Amino acid sequence: MGAVSRDPGSWLARLAGGEVPASVALMHIAAAAESAGAVEAALAGAADRAEGAGRERIAEALAVWRASPQAWGTVQAVLGGIDHGLSGEDGTDVVAALARAFDRAAQISPEGSVALYALGNADLLRAATQEIVARLDAWGLLGPGRRVVDLGCGIGRIAAALAPRVAQVVGLDIAPAMIAAARARCAGLPNVAFHLGTGRDLAPVATGSADLLLAVDCLPYLVQAGEAVLRGYVREAARVLRPRGDFVILNFSYRGDLARDRRDAARLSREHGFALKRDGTADFATWDGRSFHLRRLG
Q: Which of 40, 67, 94 is the last residue of a domain?
A: 67
Please indicate, yes or no, whether residues 129 and 276 belong to a single structural domain of this protein. Answer: yes
Same-domain status, 138 and 239: yes
Q: Has residue 72 been placed in a domain?
A: no
Residues 34 and 175 in one domain: no
Distance CA 84, CA 94 (A): 10
Last-in-domain residue among 17, 42, 67: 67
Work out the mean pLDDT of the chain and round it to a whole number.
90
Residues 45 and 178 in one domain: no
Shared-domain flag, residues 230 and 145: yes
Q: Tell me if 239 is assigned to some domain.
A: yes
The per-residue pLDDT for 237 is 97
190 inside domain: yes
Beta-carbon contacts of residue 10 (< 8 Å; ≥ 6 apart) = none
Residue 99 resides in a domain? no
Work out the end-to-end distance of the chain between its first and last CA atoms, rounded to an integer number of angstroms: 34
Same domain, 201 and 276: yes
Distances, alpha carbon 150 to alpha carbons 51, 86, 171, 204, 230, in Å:
43, 24, 5, 12, 16
Looking at the domain assignment, is residue 104 inside a domain?
A: no
Amino acid identity, position 126: R
* Closest to 13 measured CA to CA, from 41, 35, 42, 33: 42
How many of the other CB atoms lie within 10 Å of CB of 250?
A: 22
CATH of the domain at 276: 3.40.50.150
Residues spanned by the domain of 18: 8-67
Asked, for residue 250, whether it belongs to a domain, the answer is: yes
- When pLDDT is cut at 50, 70 and 90, the band that residue 89 belongs to is very low
For residue 9, pLDDT beyond 60: yes
Which tens digits make up the pLDDT trace of 187-240?
Answer: 999 999 999 998 889 999 999 999 999 999 999 999 998 999 999 999 999 999
Q: Domain end: 49, 67, 85, which one?
A: 67
Per the structure, the count of domains in the chain is: 2
Mark whether 55 and 140 lie in a shared domain.
no
Chain length of the chain: 298
Q: Residue 259: inside a domain, yes or no?
A: yes
User: Within a domain: residue 277?
Assistant: yes
Least confident of 40-44, 84-88, 128-132, 257-261: 84-88
* Global pTM value: 0.88
pLDDT (tens digit per residue) in 99-153: 787 777 767 666 656 678 888 888 889 999 999 999 999 999 999 999 999 999 9
The pLDDT score that the predictor gives to residue 97 is: 81
pLDDT value of position 248: 98
Helices assigned H by DSSP within the chain: 8-16, 22-32, 36-49, 52-66, 71-81, 92-108, 110-114, 122-138, 157-162, 176-185, 219-225, 227-240, 258-271
